[in-house]
Amino acid sequence: MKSSWKTGLSFGLTSGVITTLGLLVGLHAGTHSRNVVLGGILTIAVADALSDAMGIHLAEESKNSGPAVHVWESTVATFLAKLSIALTFAVPVLLWPLQAAVLASVLWGLVLLALLSLFVARAQRIPPWKVIGEHVLIALFVVAVSHYLGDWVRGFQEGH
């Protein structure tokens, strides 16, 4: 696989998981509203996918080290990866009770990160458990902080 596609896909997948999980968990903790959580997921899927794609585009252009087609390949791959990954988190929210959907989403996100981390570790010929552990711990940190921020906002709104 071309490095430009690897860049876009790995960034888009990682950002899609981490950002969507953080938003989903935080909105759930703060509102307990299926509509708000679903609206957040859809917003991340579109707006943040475009933002991340633009960020990768500018980062690749700033390297000034390759043909324009590589820049655009990274851009498109980032957008498509982020959009498609973020949208997968809408499925459990649409199908299941919200609490179960949030738990399923966290598990789904951790599995996706673990699989990407496994591929990265194999490509770098390093022990997979180190890479998987690092990335899963970062994701769990984001989930925990987002949950507590959502709780804080909910308590702030209720005057506690």
pLDDT average per 10 residues of sequence, the chain (160 residues): 90 96 98 98 98 96 89 96 98 98 98 96 95 97 98 85
- Alpha helices, DSSP H, located in the chain: 3-31, 34-43, 49-63, 68-88, 90-95, 98-124, 128-158
* pLDDT for 160: 63
pTM for this prediction:
0.94
Query: CA 41, CA 91: separation in Å to the nearest integer?
Result: 10
Q: How many CB atoms neighbour CB 123 within 10 A?
A: 9
Q: Which residues does 129 contact at the CB level (< 8 Å), separation at least 6?
A: none
Length of the chain: 160
